[in-house]
Chain A
Amino acid sequence: MPTLIELKDGVAKAAEDPFTHVADDQDMASGDVIVSLGRFQAEGEGLLSEGRRVGVRLKAEEEVEALAYDLPQLSVVALEFPKYRDGRAYTNARLLRERFHFKGEVRAVGDVLREQAAFMVRVGFDAFEPADDASSNEWQAAAHRYRHVYQRSADGRAPAFAEREG
């Protein structure tokens, strides 16, 4: 069972994960579940009608645009990093926040390492399943190592050019 780290109000904390990841070849679990895009498209309506919370897990090559109409019903979008150096999920996360104004949880799953924490937080991830056993303290330190940022992103931090204007 991977540890879940949640980022709330800028603070990373270890948390119990109320969701169960259900793979396509597994029987449906009870309670809150995270399923693949394909399974959500087939079974999502039914799951939601049972009153449970539902999340969708997108592979790196799947684009968030495929979820555009379903986002208001989703509690979690989990974005996969098949390898730490596969950066497609950063675009998905940023678009979820900036273009689709998704308010639910955006969770990083797969090859999730603390060295990526600052980038992930900046594009709007707020939950993490670290693959390197990083503690919430280590995650917190890694995510907030830089006192300034140069670009606008989904975290709303003031970039250097805005800070300079005072």
Chain B
Amino acid sequence: MYQYDTIDKAMLADRSAEFRGQVARRLAGELTEDQFKPLRLMNGLYLQLHAYMLRVAIPYGSLNPTQLRKLAWIGRTYDKGYGHFTTRTNLQFHWIKLADTPDILDHLASVDMHAIQTSGNCIRNTTTDPYAGATAEEVDDPRVWAEAIRQWSTFHPEFSFLPRKFKIAITAAPKDRTAARVHDIGLVLKRARDGALGFEVIVGGGMGRTPYVGPTIREFLPVNRLLSYLEAILRVYNRHGRRDNIYKARIKILVAALGKDEFARQVEAEWAKIGEGADLPDTELARIRGAFAQTNFETLPAQSEAFEAAKAAKPAFARFVRNNVKPHKRPGYGIVEISLKGIGDTPGDATSEQMEVVADLAEQYGLGDIRVTHEQNLVLPHVKLDDVPAVWAALAEAGIATPNINLVSDIIACPGLDYCALANARAIPIAQHIAEKFRDQDRAEKIGELKIKISGCINACGHHHVGHIGILGVDKKGEEFYQLTLGGSGAEDASVGSMLGPALPYDKVADAVDTLVDVYLRERHDGERFLDTFRRTGVTPFKEAVYADAH
């Protein structure tokens, strides 16, 4: 993993000192809340319904055990003993006191962490494949480029006051676990026939009020030209993105208005003027690449007797393996996903005790490596198959061995009206109702991959547009209603879901999902996921079933 050097550490120390001064001015009354707002927002500090929320950056979703223990400690010391992992692979604390924030930032900085650019109209945390460095599917390690972008985008002097926030995702595997095509910029690392590495560059995807699957503006960008090309895209956007209407300010609106060809032409023209002088020198790329080279794998047989014996002896372990353990590029290793979607729990929440268990397991069994997924789960990317039974037992003890990765109860939900000042409706209890409905694990496995995503308002933090089943909270005369969409996907087969029909009241949503699943089980052909069946049949059978009662 990348280690911060004295320069990286000095950046965080300077930032922390600056914010301490700003908070002191606010607490002394030298700054009004209006004047303070832009300053706190540059440090990931939001004022929500009940308290301040601090969003801590987890660059490309990568943590070491010391960092995760510190997050657990902060949760216990300054919050209510838990934290919430987000779809940007960050961690939010929802019950923070303003006066504590300078100390919290110092504690974060002591483990090379911060809240830089977790809010504001700047380049946000770059996300990548949580299986990076572990999956055999990838052509190269995408974290190298995520780290290069982290440094380039941190306190960027030209691009810190963009028309709107800006999110970049990088994947290096054909199976996209980053939702690259619904990002402001999605980068797909590929290898050309001659072996050269390059990026497919996708610009102008997004969710919110106007969802788009982003178009590809360049099929193959040589990897070492990445930063100059990003500079060209950001410059065109900074100059020409709309600033008159917050809802039309994302780059997707500019790309759609110009058309992808004209947008690409402007980027290429700007890129030609910028030239290679804006790219990272090969020496720096080599330095970063070296930091991600994993050298301490053991040479193991592909089969593990202990692992196979545990599967045979314990059906619950076998179920966990079927759903939560994924193939590793090295023989004898596995990728272990830790679901933060326990039945009846808040999606993405982890208690301080659970974080400490995961940190300990990563240290003891996982080469000290922990990842956060955009689907709000955790990953131990490098676990010996021999050790998976012990990891599973410890997770079960901590209540985080739910065997439901990619299944119906592995739901993305935003904090919704329980926390958020923007929300129209609650999202968390809807997720809980649905999870309860599919508590039967045999049935959940029979249903197979089904991605449900819930947003409490049209800002779409819960990614409802790209849910196989999407659920959007709306306000109808002061009551919570929910609009269902079907057929969305954030993966390599990205699409925006289409509307099922009239919005449903709060207490009918889980039943409607149950009905949709019944229709799928009735209609599906062999091997089809819910999404495939929907794409084949269209909306009609689903719509008829859900609204049958209404007639």
Contact = CB atoms under 8 A, between A and B. Distances in A.
Interface of A: 63, 84-88, 90-91, 94, 99, 115-116, 118-120, 122-123, 145-153, 160-161, 163-165
18 contacts: A63-B239, A85-B121, A86-B161, A90-B159, A91-B238, A91-B239, A118-B155, A118-B157, A145-B17, A146-B14, A148-B7, A148-B11, A149-B157, A151-B151, A152-B278, A153-B158, A160-B151, A161-B281
A150 B14 contact: no
Interface in B436-478: none
B18 interface: yes
Classify the interface of chain B: helix, strand, loop or mixed: helix
B5 A164 contact: yes
B435 interface: no
Given A85-B161, A148-B11, A90 B155 contact: no
B39 interface: yes
Contacts of B239: 63, 88, 91
B158 A161 contact: no
Contact of A160 (B7, B15, B39, B156): B7
A59 B42 CA distance: 25
A88 B238 contact: yes
Interface in B1-29: 5, 7-8, 10-11, 14-15, 17-18
Interface residues of B, number: 36
Contacts of B243: 86, 88
Interface in B263-306: 273, 277-278, 280-281, 283-284, 287
A151 B273 contact: no
B7 A163 contact: yes
Given A85-B38, A88-B238, A119 B7 contact: no
A164 B8 CA distance: 11
B10 A147 contact: yes
Contacts of B10: 147-148
Ranked 8 nearest A-B pairs via Cβ: A87-B161, A122-B157, A161-B284, A119-B157, A150-B151, A90-B158, A160-B7, A148-B7
A146 B155 contact: yes
A165 B154 CA distance: 20
Nearest to B281: A161
A145 B235 contact: no
Given A90-B157, A160-B8, A161-B281, 15 more contacts: A84-B161, A87-B162, A88-B238, A90-B159, A90-B238, A91-B235, A91-B238, A118-B155, A119-B157, A146-B14, A148-B7, A153-B158, A161-B280, A161-B284, A163-B7
